Structure 1
Amino acid sequence: MLDGALGAGKPLPASRALARSLGVSRDTVEAAYAQLHAEGFIERRVGSGSSVAAIEDFSRARRIGPVGGTGPARLSRRGSALFESGGVRETPVPMPFAHGVPDTRRFPLVLWERLERQVLKDSGSRALLHGDPQGAEVLRRAIADYINLERGARAAPEQVLVLTSSQQAMMLCALLLFDPGERLFIEDPAYYGARKAFAAAGVETVPIAVDSQGIVVEPILADPQAARAVFLTPSHQFPTGATLTLERRLALIDWAAQHQAWIIEDDYDSEFHYEGRPTACMQGLDRHERTLYIGTFTKSLFPGLRIGYVVLPSALVQPMTNARSLMDGHTAVIAQLTLARFMEGGHFGAHVRTMRGIYAQRRDVLVTLVRQHLGAWVEPQVPAGGLQLACMLKAGLSEDMVVAAARQAGVALLGLSALHAGGPGGAGFMMGFAAYTPLELETAVLTLARAFAAMSPR
């Protein structure tokens, strides 16, 4: 009736006939007709049966068309920016060489299930209730203990905010630390998720070049305009793999203290360092409390866990916690308590050490395969850590064509050019290796070699 399929005055079937047709009782049809009549949809007259009521609202609905129309939704400026960013989406089932993906097949799932059962047994229905927006105290303590010992941080449990991801941490930083139009220094190239988060919040991102020693600090120190913060991946720069030198770290810490600016440190995969000990985090060097340290368990354990964290300067703990509570309330309690037991029992450290050895082997296998089968087209940049390998294209191949041809062949490559904001960088792509066995790596490299060969001039 509302769509106009049954127009005004259209007679309805007799209740007895309709009941027989539908295989229901006549009382059911009579009850339905009575309800339609009570709501004004139909008219009923003794001896004339029932018909669709002539109501202006019906004809107007037909003229307007379906609810919602066909045009685009009217969004706010911030809503438009969020939409136009394209979001950050990961492949549910990654294919070689998806970057930043750990090997979930090696995760000790049986142990995790046992710890989760212990949590449910000990906590009972309390684990099913709302959690603390800042995070379970037992997990915050475990995180602080771990990063103080392994990353050289200076963190108290009261400074830790447990989140669902490092991406959420970046979005919180963008919303709480900046007004639209304020400036942020950011590495160039940089992680696309960070740039999208800040840009969507209306932040002006100022790209700063990266060299073999990390972000170049001279443009930051010499810039006469105020900037609210600098975003860094100092331990393992994404995507170049460079480590920020101590001299540059100290210079940025002094800059932040002098200008009352913030350092946003994303330590996304520092657990996996294959040559010597990893460099300590900047947060541990910063005695002025100007550094926000972001970490995640997505890469060290498994993406589906959805637990990340940020270690905050004391002055930001309550503002960030309040803002987080407006976003999604809190992180799942059962997962937090299970992770806390996993860490307290020494299982997290043991798992990381095991996977570090496996990933180092896979990195070496991939480097050998690339040099053997793709050496005519690319030059691998061997990383000291991380879950992916950067390859620079030699002359003769277009990055866009290479990435498209790989996708057509069932191989995922992340092009490097899109990660640059301050001008075109070197053409190349990222190859994730952590989630794939040596045989899977070999199969994918050979597939890529055939795709490259088909593109090359004969």
Structure 2
Amino acid sequence: MFKHAQLESVKAWIGDPAHRALPLHARIQRAIRQLILDGALDMGRPLPASRALAASLGVSRDTVESAYGQLHAEGFIERRVGSGSLVSGKLQRVPRTGSRPGAVPAPQAGPRLSQRGAALFRDGGVRDFPAPRPFAPGVPETRGFPLHTWERLQRQVLKEHGTQALRHSPPQGVEALRRAIADHVNLERGGHATAERVLVLTSSQQAMTLCAHVLLDPGERIFIEDPVYHGARKAFDAAGLRCVPVPLDGHGMQVALLGADPAPARAVFVTPSHQFPTGTTLALERRLALIEWARQRQAWIIEDDYDSEFHYAGRPTACVQGLDAHERTIYIGTFTKSLFPGLRIGYMVLPPQLVAPMTVARTLLDGHSAPIPQLTLARFMEDGHFGAHVRAMRSVYAKRRDVLADLIHRHLGDVLTPTVPAGGMQMPCTLNCDIPERTLIDHARRTGLELLGLSGLHASAGGQPGFLMGFAAYTPAEMESAVKVLAEVFQALAPPRGAGTARR
């Protein structure tokens, strides 16, 4: 018969709400199996008779017999006529940790990771926001998305393609979507794209990871903007690249510094249409100089055009890829921000010589993107719904941008200075008080607000502390409530009079 503690362990396992989805006999079987694995039941130890255990647990004998039968089939117990059931004597190699169900586990040393694995874990990855929290940057408004239209188009796709839509997609992407993307880039961004040069991916983050691994070797240098998009830098760092920061001014990256650097670099990463996080636009003469630098050095330009659809003062400038006659530019775009994050579709427009290598490399990451969303998105774009949605959201976001700027001036004007962007979905705000940036971020998060610090986006020291505050996904009323909460955070953390200047 079980000891009292062993019987109570079985009862606790059976009654655990986390196990309620399992049939009762399976719960009993797994509870006894765990006792065996934990060393609480030695090999050769007799188990209670099924009738006795059933009475102790308040279940039918058939239920216990089913549990014993499964344990016997898996080799955990032996069943002998006249001797009943006992723990198998062939389990000498089963690890005996001495732990019991419900016991606090002993501290475990961290796993031994590769250098790349350790770098990935140390950098913390890129944080997404499953449920939008006020001021989280880069989050679009999804409540206004034309879901009924999307649903109707998806039904059309399934009716037209049938079970073929359930198969693998070509690794380069569905041709109809690649053609729609090429038309969009050419018309709206002044690009030079064809369906044959488009590679459909799950995200711009995947595109940057591919660029880092396919175009450069560990230890090679890549120029990056300073400050820079954190997802790009983490992708390059994880690939073992040496990121060389290039400072910005009011006209974007100071491209002249690339040519003045005597050490070779294989690539440069830029967000020229709407620099992340400052919002500046790379001047035309600098774009041309960047293209010439890439031609002379046979280097690559990685152009992230992450939110160019949302420009609030006239049309955005043409992309670098459309100006590059030497085909040294990789253009990255995404629908995560222009439509909705759950779509998980991004893309690259590649120089012809990179299409095959990038497509093959992509098959080692995730193989392909799901066909049904690709086909639906292609139809959504072809029928004009994409353009209509972007125009509607552009108007909504422009108003919300102005609302946020006004709220900051009214409620936080003494501690934050906003820079009203000409485009995009977030607003950079510099900090003008003595409260450390990190302290404010942590306290704001505990109140339900999400702020992205500016200091951490700088590769070099001396960056002005502050925040990047998203406004696209939040109504004016939601932003007003959130700004008032943030004002209370500042008041609660206000340092004594006479403290120094702003700190990180």
TM-superposed CA distance for 1:91, in Å, is 1.5
In structure 1, the residue matched to 2:80 is 44
Q: Give the stretch that moved more between structures: 405-414 or 110-119.
A: 405-414
Q: Quote the Cα distance in structure 1 between the aligned partners of 2:176 and 2:67.
A: 62
TM-superposed CA distance for 1:25, in Å, is 4.0
3-state SS in 1 of match to 2:61: coil
Q: Quote the Cα distance in structure 2 between the aligned partners of 1:134 and 1:271.
A: 24
1:300-311 alignment runs, 5 A limit:
300-311=338-349
TM-superposed CA distance for 1:3, in Å, is 2.4
3-state SS in 2 of match to 1:423: coil
3-state SS in 2 of match to 1:107: coil
In structure 2, the residue matched to 1:6 is 41
In structure 1, the residue matched to 2:96 is 62
Matched, 1:24 2:61: yes
1:355-434 alignment runs, 5 A limit:
355-434=393-472
CA contact (8 A) 1:263 1:292 kept: yes
TM-superposed CA distance for 1:171, in Å, is 0.6
Q: Relative to structure 1, is the Cα distance of residues 105 and 29 closer, same or farther in structure 2, using a 3 angstrom cutoff?
A: closer
Matched, 1:349 2:387: yes
TM-superposed CA distance for 1:64, in Å, is 8.9
1:94-109 alignment runs, 5 A limit:
94-109=132-147
Q: Quote the Cα distance in structure 1 between the aligned partners of 2:116 and 2:64.
A: 54
Q: Relative to structure 1, is the Cα distance of residues 65 and 14 closer, same or farther in structure 2, using a 3 angstrom cutoff?
A: closer
In structure 1, the residue matched to 2:211 is 173
- The one-character-per-residue Cα deviations of 1:31-71 (angstroms, maximum 9, x if unpaired) are 829936x948437374x54443445715x622698999933
CA contact (8 A) 2:236 2:243 kept: yes
Q: Relative to structure 1, is the Cα distance of residues 61 and 290 closer, same or farther in structure 2, using a 3 angstrom cutoff?
A: same
TM-superposed CA distance for 1:395, in Å, is 4.0
- The one-character-per-residue Cα deviations of 1:180-212 (angstroms, maximum 9, x if unpaired) are 101100001001000000100101111111111
CA contact (8 A) 1:377 1:397 kept: no
Q: Relative to structure 1, is the Cα distance of residues 13 and 345 closer, same or farther in structure 2, using a 3 angstrom cutoff?
A: same
3-state SS in 2 of match to 1:105: coil
In structure 2, the residue matched to 1:244 is 282
Counterpart selection for 1:253 from 291, 294, 304: 291
3-state SS in 2 of match to 1:155: coil
CA contact (8 A) 2:193 2:349 kept: yes
CA contact (8 A) 1:15 1:30 kept: no
In structure 1, the residue matched to 2:352 is 314
Give 2:220's aligned amino acid: E
Q: Relative to structure 1, is the Cα distance of residues 236 and 12 closer, same or farther in structure 2, using a 3 angstrom cutoff?
A: same
In structure 2, the residue matched to 1:35 is 72
3-state SS in 2 of match to 1:80: helix
CA contact (8 A) 2:185 2:191 kept: yes
Q: Quote the Cα distance in structure 1 between the aligned partners of 2:188 and 2:254.
A: 26
Q: Quote the Cα distance in structure 2 between the aligned partners of 1:383 and 1:33.
A: 65
Superposition RMSD on alpha carbons, in Å? Answer: 2.4
Counterpart selection for 2:369 from 331, 339, 342: 331
Q: Relative to structure 1, is the Cα distance of residues 51 and 393 closer, same or farther in structure 2, using a 3 angstrom cutoff?
A: closer
CA contact (8 A) 1:15 1:29 kept: no
Q: Quote the Cα distance in structure 2 between the aligned partners of 1:359 and 1:208.
A: 30
Matched, 1:440 2:478: yes
Give 1:389's aligned amino acid: M
Counterpart selection for 1:297 from 335, 352, 358: 335
Q: Quote the Cα distance in structure 2 between the aligned partners of 1:272 and 1:408.
A: 31
Count of aligned pairs between the two proteins: 455
Q: Quote the Cα distance in structure 2 between the aligned partners of 1:343 and 1:139.
A: 8
TM-superposed CA distance for 1:16, in Å, is 5.2
1:18-167 alignment runs, 5 A limit:
18=53, 22-25=59-62, 28=65, 32=69, 35=72, 39=75, 41-42=77-78, 44=80, 46=82, 48-55=83-90, 57-58=92-93, 61-62=95-96, 70-167=108-205
Higher relative contact order (CA 8 A, sep 6+): 1
TM-superposed CA distance for 1:379, in Å, is 1.1
- The one-character-per-residue Cα deviations of 1:70-121 (angstroms, maximum 9, x if unpaired) are 3322222222222222111212111111111111011111111111111111
Q: Relative to structure 1, is the Cα distance of residues 277 and 191 closer, same or farther in structure 2, using a 3 angstrom cutoff?
A: same
CA contact (8 A) 1:271 1:352 kept: yes
Q: Relative to structure 1, is the Cα distance of residues 2 and 429 closer, same or farther in structure 2, using a 3 angstrom cutoff?
A: closer
TM-superposed CA distance for 1:373, in Å, is 1.4
Matched, 1:207 2:241: no
CA contact (8 A) 2:216 2:266 kept: yes
CA contact (8 A) 2:251 2:281 kept: yes
Runs of 5+ consecutive residues of structure 2 not aligned to the other structure: 1-35, 498-504
TM-superposed CA distance for 1:30, in Å, is 11
CA contact (8 A) 1:266 1:294 kept: yes
- The one-character-per-residue Cα deviations of 1:334-357 (angstroms, maximum 9, x if unpaired) are 000100011000111111111111
CA contact (8 A) 1:19 1:29 kept: no
TM-superposed CA distance for 1:371, in Å, is 1.0
CA contact (8 A) 1:295 1:310 kept: yes
3-state SS in 1 of match to 2:303: strand
Runs of 5+ consecutive residues of structure 1 not aligned to the other structure: none
TM-superposed CA distance for 1:447, in Å, is 1.6
CA contact (8 A) 1:292 1:311 kept: yes
TM-score (normalised: structure 2): 0.85
3-state SS in 2 of match to 1:100: coil
TM-superposed CA distance for 1:295, in Å, is 0.2
3-state SS in 2 of match to 1:206: strand
- The one-character-per-residue Cα deviations of 1:294-346 (angstroms, maximum 9, x if unpaired) are 00001110011000000001111011101111111111100001000110001
- The one-character-per-residue Cα deviations of 1:205-240 (angstroms, maximum 9, x if unpaired) are 111111110011122111111111000000000000
Give 1:207's aligned amino acid: P
